[in-house]
């Protein structure tokens, strides 16, 4: 995957447009958190573009440093808590929803642990060729990494919605592959992949909204 600030910008703008479209088509408050996921990931990529420019001395150092910190906060603190919660909220099958609760709790715990590690430990970033290599100090790194993947991907696989399952399925091999082959650039490369594939979420929101509207219309007509 060729990666650059320009790629971040394009990904951020495309996914951002999809995210705005998702929010416009929300027909149920329970879908709001899920509809916000593409926008969060779009902002994530735009922030990383500023991080790139900071490392390339194209913007003031303070702006680049702030962008790198903000990027890590979203990747390590927001995503693992938001995604499982959003998927759980949008689930209409009570049994599946209950099965997702442990993963939503796990995501919140992972988020707290990672944010704490960012707060107390040094962090930084360097350009690793075609990606940004983020440097962080993680307690029990492998364990936390596995917990992160479980929290984010398991609820998607448990969903009763086909497109959300697809979103989970296409992310798992990428997560595992990047974690194995490019551990230094894992955060950077996986997050751009997640951002691009989150367009699937927008498609789901559109279809779900149309179905909900159709069901309500049928109920009114039947009444």
Give the H/E segment covering residue 133.
strand 132-135
DSSP tag of 56: T
Which residues touch 60 (CB under 8 Å, ≥6 apart)?
54
State whether residue 125 is helix, strand or coil: strand
Distance CA 52, CA 50 (A): 5
Do residues 155 and 104 touch, judged by C-beta distance below 8 A? yes
Distance CA 199, CA 16 (A): 9
Distance CA 123, CA 128 (A): 15
Q: Pick 216 or 94 by higher pLDDT.
A: 94
The predicted-structure confidence for 25-60, as pLDDT tens digits, reads as follows 898 889 999 999 989 988 988 999 999 999 999 999
Is the model's pLDDT at 158 over the cut of 80? yes
Mean pLDDT of 83-96: 95
């Amino acid at each position: 995957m060729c990666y650059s600030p320009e790629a971040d910008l394009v990904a951020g703008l495309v996914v951002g447009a999809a995210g705005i479209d998702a929010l416009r088509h929300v027909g149920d408050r329970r879908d709001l958190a899920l509809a916000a996921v593409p926008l969060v990931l779009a902002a994530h990529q735009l922030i990383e573009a500023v991080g790139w420019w900071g490392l390339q001395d194209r913007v003031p150092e303070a702006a680049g440093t702030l962008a790198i910190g903000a990027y890590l906060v979203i990747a390590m603190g927001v995503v693992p808590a938001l995604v499982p919660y959003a998927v759980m909220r949008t689930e209409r099958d009570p049994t599946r929803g209950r099965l997702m609760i442990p993963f939503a709790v796990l995501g919140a715990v992972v988020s707290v642990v990672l944010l704490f590690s960012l707060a107390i430990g040094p962090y930084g970033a360097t350009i690793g060729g075609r990606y940004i290599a983020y440097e962080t100090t993680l307690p029990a790194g492998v364990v936390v990494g596995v917990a992160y993947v479980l929290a984010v991907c398991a609820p998607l696989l448990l969903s009763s919605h086909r497109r959300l399952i697809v979103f989970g399925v296409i992310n798992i091999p990428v997560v595992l592959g990047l974690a194995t082959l490019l551990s230094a650039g894992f955060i950077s490369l996986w997050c751009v992949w997640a951002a691009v594939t989150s367009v699937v979420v927008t498609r789901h929101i559109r279809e779900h909204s149309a179905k909900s509207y159709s069901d309500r219309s049928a109920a009114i007509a039947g009444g």
